[in-house]
């Protein structure tokens, strides 16, 4: 028996969430006296997972699985789960992982809890704490299938080093053509830039910025902080920014360490989607803007003056603290 974990990589390198889910799996394995087995696809340094408590890596090297395919990846995970008699499977909350894990849960008729924000409340029975109502509440869910899937929120449990001996073996899954009913024909992705899903810092702009031509200063601030850029819903509805940047209850969720909201009023639908961020800074001309009530730090001021100044000062700060 073991705890299975799906460790995601990109161009052969593990993503940060791979170490987070490995750490989570290790915490469960420690309480149940079992070990962690990871499934990785085309990862180069598979044994580095040993630093986060993974004892074995099942490494998939099939050419057909070179790019992510939710259906096929789910089959691989299902096969590994059966082979390893895994009763718990841990995955991240990335867009790909959520896509894959829903299918996996259907394959295994598994209980599945998403957006889990803390280590298990109890392991037997298996109870986890997750966010619900778009961060307006938490709920404690008992998972009670033969195999259960835990989807861990990004940035919630963190990475915990726990060095163990790690062996890597090639895993050759049984795959048929029926696994490839969807074909990826084109990927349009910004490279080398932090994404809202995994950035430590997110800089977000609202309608207060007046127009798309003013996003240069948002991008400059984001650059200094190595941050992803985001926006409120009307900004993407107006076409000032791409839909993929819209955050909030009906957009992308944000769970960064730092969220900087500029010219955003703080409507309930916006707050619902960003309140999982640990620290929130609000810059707004209106001292009565509702966002200040949900913020940790607030600056009342005109974004067009405050943001460039803040960017300059951060540059100096970064230069001194490099």
Partner 1 sequence: MKILVCISSVPDTTSKINFTADNTQFDTTGVQFVINPNDEFGLTRAMWFKEKQGAVVHVATVGDQSVEPTMRKALAIGADEGIRVDATPTDGLFVASQLAEIVKNGGYDLVIAGRESIDYNGGMVPGMMAAMLKMNFVNTCISLEVEGNKATALREIDGGKEKIETSLPLIIGGQKGLVEESDLRIPNMRGIMMARQKKLNVIPAADAKQGSHEIKFERPAPKGEVKMIDAENLDDLIDLLHNEAKVI
Ligand X SMILES: Cc1cc2nc3c(=O)[nH]c(=O)nc-3n(C[C@H](O)[C@H](O)[C@H](O)COP(=O)(O)OP(=O)(O)OC[C@H]3O[C@@H](n4cnc5c(N)ncnc54)[C@H](O)[C@@H]3O)c2cc1C
Interface positions, 105-144, toward partner 1 (CB under 8 A):
105-107, 109-115, 127, 129, 131-144
Which residues have C-beta within 8 Å of that of residue 82, sequence separation ≥ 6?
Answer: none
* The binder of partner 1 chosen from 47, 62, 198, 223 (CB under 8 A): 198
Identity of the residue, 151 or 298, whose beta carbon is nearer to ligand X in the bound complex = 298
For residue 140, is it left (φ>0), alpha (ψ between -120 and 50) or beta? beta
Residue 278 is a binding residue for partner 1 (CB under 8 A): yes
Using the rule CB under 8 A, is 188 a contact of partner 1? yes
Whether 134 and 273 have beta carbons less than 8 Å apart is answered as yes
Binding-site residue numbers for FAD are 207, 263-270, 284
User: In this structure, what token pair is assigned to residue 162?
Assistant: 């726990």
195 near partner 1, rule: CB under 8 A = yes
107 binds, among ligand X, partner 1, none (CB under 5 to 8 A by kind): partner 1
When the beta carbons of 49 and 70 are compared against partner 1, the nearer one is 70
Exposed/middle/buried for residue 322 (C-beta within 10 Å: 0-12, 13-18, 19+): exposed
Lay out the site mask for partner 1 across 25-64 (x = CB under 8 A, - = otherwise).
----------------------------------------
Listed residue (292, 269, 71) closest to 184, CA to CA: 71
Q: Site for partner 1 (CB under 8 A): which residue of 33, 177, 184, 288?
A: 184
Give the residue, chosen from 29, 46, 201, 261, that forms a contact with partner 1 under the rule CB under 8 A: 201
The full length of the chain comes to 322
Q: Residue 105: left (phi > 0), alpha (psi -120 to 50), or beta? A: alpha
Nearer to partner 1 (CB atom), residue 23 or residue 236: 236
């Amino acid at each position: 028996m073991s705890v299975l974990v799906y460790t995601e990589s990109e161009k052969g390198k593990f993503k940060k969430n791979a170490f987070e889910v490995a750490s989570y799996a290790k915490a469960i394995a420690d309480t149940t006296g079992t070990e962690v087995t990871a499934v990785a696809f085309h990862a180069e340094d598979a044994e580095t997972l040993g630093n986060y408590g993974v004892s074995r890596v099942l490494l998939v090297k099939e050419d057909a699985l070179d790019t992510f395919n939710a259906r096929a990846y789910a089959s691989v995970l299902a096969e590994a789960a059966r082979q390893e008699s895994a009763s718990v499977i841990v995955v991240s909350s990335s867009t790909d992982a959520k896509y894959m894990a829903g299918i996996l849960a259907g394959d295994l008729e598994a209980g599945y809890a998403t957006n889990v924000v803390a280590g298990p409340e109890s392991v037997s029975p298996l109870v986890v704490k997750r966010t619900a109502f778009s961060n307006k509440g938490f709920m404690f869910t008992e998972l009670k299938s033969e195999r259960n899937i835990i989807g861990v929120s990004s940035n919630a449990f963190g990475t915990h080093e726990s060095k163990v001996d790690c062996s890597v073996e090639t895993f050759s899954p049984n795959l048929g053509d029926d696994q490839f009913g969807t074909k990826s024909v084109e990927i349009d992705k910004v490279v080398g830039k932090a994404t809202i899903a995994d950035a430590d810092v997110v800089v977000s702009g609202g309608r207060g910025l007046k127009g798309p031509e003013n996003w240069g200063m948002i991008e400059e601030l984001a650059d200094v902080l190595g941050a992803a850029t985001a926006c409120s819903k009307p900004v993407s509805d107006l076409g000032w920014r791409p839909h993929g940047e819209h955050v909030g209850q009906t957009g992308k969720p944000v769970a960064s360490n730092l969220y900087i909201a500029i010219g955003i009023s703080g409507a309930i639908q916006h707050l619902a989607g960003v309140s999982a961020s640990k620290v929130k800074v609000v810059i707004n001309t209106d001292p009565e803007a509702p966002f200040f009530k949900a913020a940790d730090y607030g600056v009342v001021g005109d974004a067009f003056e405050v943001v460039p100044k803040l960017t300059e000062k951060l540059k100096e700060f970064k230069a001194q603290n490099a």
